[in-house]
């Protein structure tokens, strides 16, 4: 049974004070109770500077919302200016780490080899990497979706011993930052491929791995994505910045789940 995960990806948005204000607004809404009842899991992947205030706030409220980071470095400590270690993230009980987001792959030239090393560091420390894969529009139009996902997955998963918990996120680059997500059919096709590739690698264990959809998710379109057999939640960027909008997304997932 794969528990639906709704993970906010705030990217480079929200100061520490703004993160605290978001939590104050989000906590009293319906999503917190639904997550506390075990119907779904909710996580917030925040900028590093917001992790401590969020950790403090979540603890004070006894919230079940999990914390996530958006990057990690594979070395434990030392002369790596600007990087962050697993130990630093764990200090605030960070559970998830987004690895290989397309913005980092493109803007910071992160290769799948680098992504795998980062995932390995997160997993070794007991955190769960959320490993992003997804194609550009030219790859899709060129009919190369399956090959692209296969290559990205194989190279990003070299760290994996098939036992550590991982989460995959299918994020078509052409949908990110828009308000129009992939169609139900396109999301299922890609997430179905991902599960098939995972099955080739890990056999029936593939059935336990959550695959999220990300890119252009809104309260209006989340329902059409979560009905897909192989979509187990969503990574939500722009629509998660507003606590009310993110609550609506979580509650749409809860309703769909309780109807199934
Ligand atoms: C993302 O880039 O991880 C993402 C989900 O972005 P958005 O929802 O804003 O498309």
Q: Give the pLDDT band of residue 154 (cuts 50, 70, 90).
A: very high
Could you give the C-alpha distances from 80 to 73, 98, 138, 250, in angstroms and in order?
9, 20, 35, 37
Interval 69-98: pLDDT, tens = 999 999 999 999 999 999 999 999 999 999
Q: Average pLDDT in the 131-144 region?
A: 98
pLDDT score, position 257? 73
pLDDT score, position 259? 57
pLDDT at residue 253 greater than cutoff 90: yes
pLDDT score, position 1? 86
Q: State whether the beta carbon of 217 lies less than 6 angstroms from ligand 1.
A: yes
Interval 110-137: pLDDT, tens = 999 999 999 999 999 999 999 999 999 9
Which of the two residues, 52 and 258, has the higher pLDDT score? 52
DSSP string computed for 32-80:
HHHHHTTS-EEEEE--HHHHHHHHHHHHHHT--PEEEES---SSSSSS-
pLDDT score, position 260? 53
Interval 19-39: pLDDT, tens = 999 999 999 999 999 999 999
How many CB atoms sit inside 10 A of residue 256's CB?
17
| 83 belongs to the catalytic site | no
Q: Average pLDDT in the 148-156 region?
A: 97
pLDDT score, position 55? 98
The answer to whether the pTM exceeds 0.85 is yes
Question: Between the CA atoms of 98, 155, 157 and 232, what dihedral angle is there, to the nearest 10 degrees?
Answer: 60
CA 215 to centroid of ligand 1, rounded, Å? 4
- Distance separating alpha carbons of residues 154 and 111, to the nearest angstrom: 12
196 with 168: CB under 8 angstroms?
no
Joined together, the tokens standing for residue 26 give 């989000």
13 SS3 class: coil
CA 175 to centroid of ligand 1, rounded, Å? 8
CA 258 to centroid of ligand 1, rounded, Å? 26
| 55 belongs to the catalytic site | no
């Amino acid at each position: 049974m794969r528990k639906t995960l709704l993970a906010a990806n705030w990217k480079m948005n929200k100061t520490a004070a703004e993160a605290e204000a978001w939590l104050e607004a989000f906590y009293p809404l319906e999503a917190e109770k639904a997550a506390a009842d075990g119907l779904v899991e909710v996580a917030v992947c925040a900028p590093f500077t917001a992790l401590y205030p969020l950790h403090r706030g979540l603890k004070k409220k006894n919230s079940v919302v999990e914390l996530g980071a958006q990057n990690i470095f594979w070395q434990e400590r030392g002369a790596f200016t600007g990087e962050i270690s697993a130990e630093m993230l764990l200090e605030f009980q960070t559970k998830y780490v987004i690895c290989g987001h397309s913005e980092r792959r493109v803007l910071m030239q992160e290769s799948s080899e680098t992504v795998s090393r980062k995932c390995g560091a997160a997993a070794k420390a007991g955190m769960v990497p959320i490993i992003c894969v997804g194609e550009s529009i030219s790859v899709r139009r060129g009919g190369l979706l399956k090959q692209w996902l296969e290559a990205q997955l194989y190279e990003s998963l070299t760290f994996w011993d098939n036992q550590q918990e991982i989460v995959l996120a299918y994020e078509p680059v052409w949908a990110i930052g828009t308000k129009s997500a992939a169609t139900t059919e396109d999301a299922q096709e890609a997430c179905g491929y991902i599960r098939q590739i995972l099955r080739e690698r890990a056999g029936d264990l593939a059935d336990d791995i959550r695959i999220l959809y990300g890119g252009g998710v809104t309260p209006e379109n989340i329902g059409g994505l979560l009905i897909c057999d192989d979509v187990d939640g969503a990574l939500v960027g722009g629509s998660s910045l507003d606590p009310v909008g993110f609550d609506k997304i979580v509650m749409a997932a809860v309703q769909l789940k309780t109807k199934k």
